[in-house]
């Protein structure tokens, strides 16, 4: 990586516009800054127009996430890449990549041979809050195929990663890690000897005064030692000309009349707001689209439920109808059962009566049979009793009849019972 960084740095250095400075690159930074501050600025003409054209021609970056804090500075990211043409750009603190991708987009657009490095643990800090690995994965998915050929996402602590950069190799450094005074000083000091003669260092949040944010204190110190320009919008962005040979346009920013500085601030601020509002409006439109999709989905589900509901009602109506049919059949069956019960009762009564009659007839029959047998016995007894008298009567009759007719001699008169 070291040799790639050296090559990139050398390449872009060849086309840079050099600031007027004879200071040795190896000279002490504090002394260099003092020289910069005290040396009269050479460019008399206004470069406001140059900056305004850089601002206006800068492309709005596509990467606009929910972290809006840096988005208003993205027009300046385009401008400084275009003006400084850094061989090596390093960002300390990248998070979702709103700032880093603004620089990368400008590098890609200008076709520079810049090597870019984003350094972050991608686990968060006390100010950004802690977060999970999906943030880095999401950034990689956006970044790798667009910028992977010149840019690298380095997951490390800032002070661990510094060893990857040779001395005096970094032309543009953006410091946006933890925002306490100690952390910002430490980050600047850690990378200080890696800064090239053309180096510019950007500090985000120079205007933030809340919590224990202390960038403004570090900025106040450094801005008194190096040529400096500060954008005050969107929490502030400090532009510190640390190198002794930064391009003239950048030095002009620091020395321009107040009115021209204000013009540059106003234009970048207005453009920045446009970028942020565009991002916000895109997200809102995206939310509107999602809401429409959810509405369409809900409509679809409503239709499905309505169809299912209608079918269910049809089935309920059908079931009601069948229930009525069954109820009618059930009622009829109960009527028939009741009728059958009634008839069974009638038959039972008739049957009982018939049995009673049979029983009483049998009793009568038995009595009659007994009477018949008694009568028969009496008759036979009477017959037996009367038989001798009957025979005597018959004999008397016979005698009478035969006596009247006088039978011939030799004729023996027959008794009537002799024939029997
Ligand atoms: C304010 S955010 C960066 C915002 C980003 N520049 C943007 O435009 O949205 C700070 C990031 O710095 C990282 N960070 C803080 N201190 C760090 C350190 N010492 N080493 C590595 N990463 C650090 C955090 O993980 C966090 O993602």
420 pLDDT exceeds 60?
A: no
- Report the nearest atom of ligand 1 relative to the CA of 187: 19
Residue-level pLDDT at 15: 30
**pLDDT bracket for residue 311 (50, 70, 90):** very high
Q: What is the pLDDT of residue 69?
A: 80
The domain ranges of the chain are 2-256
Task: Check pocket membership of 136 for ligand 1, CB cut-off 6 A.
Answer: no
Confidence of residue 301 (pLDDT cuts 50, 70, 90): very high
Q: How confident is the model at residue 375 (pLDDT cuts 50, 70, 90)?
A: very high
- Tell me: the pLDDT tens digits for 46-62? 788 788 877 766 667 78
Ligand 1 pocket, residue 74 CB under 6 Å: no
Judged by DSSP in three states, 20 sits in coil
pLDDT of 309 over the 50 cut:
yes
Please give the pLDDT value at position 408.
Answer: 56
Task: Give Cβ neighbours of residue 165 (< 8 Å, ≥ 6 apart).
Answer: 2, 5, 88, 90, 117, 191, 194
Query: Taking a C-beta distance cutoff of 8 angstroms, is the pair 69, 235 a contact?
Result: yes
User: Which of the two residues, 127 and 154, has the higher pLDDT score?
Assistant: 154
Does CATH number 3.30.465.10 belong to domain 2-256?
A: no
Give the per-residue pLDDT at 406. 56
The CA distance from 55 to 268, in Å, is 6
Q: Which residue among 121, 130, 135 has the greatest number of ligand 1 atoms within 8 angstroms of its CB, and so is best to mutate? A: 121
Which two three-digit tokens encode residue 6?
Answer: 């050296």
For position 237, what pLDDT does the model report?
98
Residues in the chain, total: 420
Question: Cα separation of 188 and 226, whole Å?
Answer: 13
Alpha-carbon dihedral 105, 108, 110, 111, rounded to 10 degrees: 170
Per-residue pLDDT tens digits for 115-142: 999 999 999 999 989 999 999 999 999 9
Q: Residue 234: which pLDDT band, with cuts at 50, 70 and 90?
A: very high
DSSP per-residue letters across 205-243: -TT--STT--HHHHHHHHHTTS-EEEE-STT-EEEEE-S
| CA 52 remoteness from chain centre | 45
pLDDT of 415 strictly over 70: no
**Which residue has a Cα nearest atom 15 of ligand 1?**
177
Per-residue model confidence (pLDDT) at position 169: 98
Instruction: Pick left, alpha or beta for residue 24 (phi over 0 → left; psi -120 to 50 → alpha; otherwise beta).
Output: beta
Calpha distance 85→102 (Å, rounded) = 14
Lowest mean pLDDT among 253-262, 272-281, 302-311: 272-281
CA 309–ligand 1 middle distance (angstroms):
54
pTM, rounded to two decimals: 0.68
Report d(CA 161, CA 92) in Å as an integer: 10
Does ligand 1 come within 6 angstroms of the Cβ of 190? no
Question: 27: which DSSP letter?
Answer: S
pLDDT tens digit sequence for 87-109? 999 999 999 999 999 999 999 99
**Is the confidence at residue 338, as pLDDT, over 50?**
yes
Q: What is the pLDDT of residue 65?
A: 85
Residue 17 in this model has a pLDDT that exceeds 80? no
Any atom of ligand 1 within 6 Å of the Cβ of 158: yes
Q: Which residues, at least 6 apart from 122, have a Cβ–Cβ distance to it below 8 Å?
A: 94, 95, 131, 133, 135, 136, 139, 155
Where on the phi/psi map is residue 65: left (φ > 0), alpha (ψ -120 to 50), or beta? beta
**Stretch 374-398: mean pLDDT:** 91
Q: For the chain, what is the total number of helices (H) and then of strands (E)? A: 11, 9
Q: Is 65 in the pocket of ligand 1 (CB under 6 A)?
A: no
Determine the residue of 73, 76, 89, 95 to mutate for testing ligand 1's pocket, defined as the one with the most ligand atoms within 8 A of the Cβ atom: 95
Residues 6+ apart with CB under 8 A from 385: none
Q: Whole-number mean pLDDT of the chain?
A: 86
Going by CA atoms, what residue is nearest to atom 9 of ligand 1? 98
- How confident is the model over 28-44, as pLDDT tens digits? 333 344 444 544 455 55
CB 165 within 8 A of CB 130: no
Q: Is 204 helix (H, G, I), strand (E, B) or coil?
A: strand
Rounded Cα distance between 360 and 283, Å, is 109
Instruction: Quote the Cα angle for 201-204-210, to 5°.
Output: 145
Instruction: Report how far residue 109's alpha carbon sits from residue 365's, in angstroms, rounded to the nearest whole number.
Output: 135
16 pLDDT tier (thresholds 50, 70, 90)? very low
- Tell me: pLDDT of 345 over 80: yes
Give the SS3 label for residue 178.
Answer: coil
Q: Is the per-residue pLDDT at 292 higher than 80?
A: yes
Does residue 329 surpass a pLDDT of 50? Answer: yes
Residues 156, 121: Cα–Cα separation, whole Å = 5
How far, in Å, is the centroid of ligand 1 from the Cα of 66? 15
CA-based end-to-end distance of the chain: 169
């Amino acid at each position: 990586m070291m040799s790639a960084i050296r090559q990139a740095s050398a390449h872009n250095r060849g086309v840079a516009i050099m600031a007027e400075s004879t200071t040795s690159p190896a000279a002490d930074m504090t002394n260099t800054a003092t020289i910069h501050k005290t040396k009269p600025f050479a460019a008399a003409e206004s470069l406001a127009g140059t900056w305004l054209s850089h601002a206006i021609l800068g492309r709005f970056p596509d990467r606009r996430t929910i972290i809006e804090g840096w988005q208003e500075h993205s027009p300046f990211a385009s401008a400084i890449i275009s003006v400084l043409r850094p061989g090596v750009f390093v960002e300390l603190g990248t998070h979702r990549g709103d700032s880093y991708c603004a620089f990368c987009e400008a590098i890609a657009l200008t076709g520079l041979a810049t090597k870019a490095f984003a350094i972050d643990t991608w686990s968060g800090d006390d100010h950004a809050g802690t977060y999970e690995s999906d943030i880095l994965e999401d950034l990689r998915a956006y970044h790798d195929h667009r910028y992977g050929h010149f840019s690298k996402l380095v997951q490390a602590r800032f002070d661990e990663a510094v060893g990857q950069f040779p001395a005096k190799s970094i032309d543009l450094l953006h410091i946006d890690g933890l925002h306490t005074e100690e952390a910002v000083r430490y980050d600047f000091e850690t990378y200080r000897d890696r800064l090239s003669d053309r180096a510019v260092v950007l500090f985000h949040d120079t205007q933030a005064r809340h919590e224990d944010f202390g960038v403004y204190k570090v900025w106040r110190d450094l801005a008194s030692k190096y040529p400096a320009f500060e954008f005050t919008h969107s929490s502030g962005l400090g532009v510190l000309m640390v190198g002794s040979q930064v391009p003239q346009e950048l030095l002009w920013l620091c020395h321009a009349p107040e009115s021209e500085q204000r013009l540059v601030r106003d234009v970048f601020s207005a453009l920045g707001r446009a970028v942020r509002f565009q991002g916000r409006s895109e997200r809102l439109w995206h939310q509107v689209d999602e809401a429409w999709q959810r509405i369409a989905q809900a409509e679809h589900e409503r239709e499905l439920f309505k169809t299912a509901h209608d079918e269910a009602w049809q089935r309920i109506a059908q079931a009601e109808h069948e229930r009525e049919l069954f109820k009618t059949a059930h009622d009829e069956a109960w009527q028939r059962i009741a009728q059958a019960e009634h008839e069974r009762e009638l038959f039972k009564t008739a049957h009982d009566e018939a049995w009673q009659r049979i029983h009483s007839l049998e009793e009568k029959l038995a009595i009659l049979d007994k009477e018949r047998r008694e009568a028969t016995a009496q008759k036979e007894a009477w017959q037996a009793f009367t038989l001798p008298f009957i025979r005597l009567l018959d004999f008397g009759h016979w005698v009478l009849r035969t006596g009247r007719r006088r039978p011939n001699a030799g004729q023996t008169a027959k008794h009537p019972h002799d024939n029997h």
